[in-house]
Amino acid sequence: MSLGAQRPVGLMQGYGRECGIEPIAGEWYRTGDTAVVDESGVFTYVGRADDVFKSSDYRISPFELESILIEHDAVAEAGVVPSPDSVRLSVPKAFVSLRPGAPATAATAKSILAHARERLGPFKRIRRIEFCELPKTVSGKVRRAELRKLEAERRARNERGAQEWTEEELAKQ
């Protein structure tokens, strides 16, 4: 975003130097958001630079996958993070908070994954799903950083969530 001649009124002066972030460079303000621009100059939001991850060398935006998940009738909220995988480096894993009355069962997990599979390209497929209460910031946003850390720690210990299913397990049912 170009700052032009004047800094916007609501823009903070800067970050503490200890964090190593330098968001203001000349007349540009680095927001940390990523976007793509098409031939006609239209920008499309991809996600936060720190949230986008790679799976089988494809860039995945959690925001896009979460938007598809919350279209399902049983899903109240979702957070998508990379789950370490020996073949694909990582695969998309959805942490899902269900609507009241929706059962946390394998059948519900299978239905949600089928819903997402119909609307996403094959390389964006959600391959793991877990039902849980999502950690949130004070403003109510899902804390993906906390979910990423939890998932990485679990996979390092070869553990999984109590209400977690994989795509492979559900395909056998």
Give bridge partners of residue 69 from the DSSP assignment: none
Q: Which of 7-21, 59-73, 153-167 has the lowest mean pLDDT?
A: 7-21
Q: Would you say 82 and 109 are in contact if contact means Cβ atoms under 8 Å apart?
A: no
Q: Would you say 152 and 100 are in contact if contact means Cβ atoms under 8 Å apart?
A: no
Percent of the chain clearing pLDDT 70 (strictly above): 77
More reliable by pLDDT, 159 or 17 = 159
Tokens matching residue 112: 């949600």
* pLDDT at residue 44, as a whole number: 76
Helix (H) or strand (E) holding 60: strand 58-60
Q: Which of 19-33, 53-67, 108-122 has the lowest mean pLDDT?
A: 19-33
- Mean pLDDT along residues 12-38: 62
Whole-model pTM: value is 0.74
The rounded Cα 119 to chain-centroid distance in angstroms is: 16
Task: Give yes or no for residue 16 having a pLDDT over 80.
Answer: no
CATH topology of domain 53-171: GMP Synthetase; Chain A, domain 3 (3.30.300)
Domain spans, the chain: 53-171
